[in-house]
Amino acid sequence: MSAFVTGLTRGGAAWTPKFVESIDQKQCIGCGRCFKVCGRDVLELIGITEDGDIVDAFDDEAEKKVMSIKTVGNCVGCESCSKVCSKSCITNLPLAA
């Protein structure tokens, strides 16, 4: 028995999905590539003020825009987000069974 949630590919091979766990917002440049490849509404762009407060990404107070996890439960574990991240700021992990 596997210690992680597993599935099968269309071809019948065993596959262990790795779900989005965290985003290193200090590394993130807010490019939006991960957001664009995710069709599951898992991620959102947020703004961070000079004081570190979270605001709307398009608020005038935002000094930096970064990605954030919006709906973690929608993640299917495909890892598309981390594969397109040029800064390697997204961590994906298998889910314990």
Residue-wise pLDDT for 35-91, tens only, equals 999 999 999 999 999 999 999 999 999 999 999 999 999 999 999 999 999 999 999
Domain boundary assignment for the chain: 23-89
The Cβ-side half-sphere exposure at 93, using a 13 Å CA radius, reads 9
| Coil/strand/helix, residue 94 | strand
- Taking Cα atoms as reference points, which of 45, 15, 35 lies closest to residue 82? 35
* Number of helical H runs and strand E runs in the chain: 2, 7
CATH 3.40.50.720 matches 23-89 = no
pLDDT at 1: 54
pLDDT at 77: 97
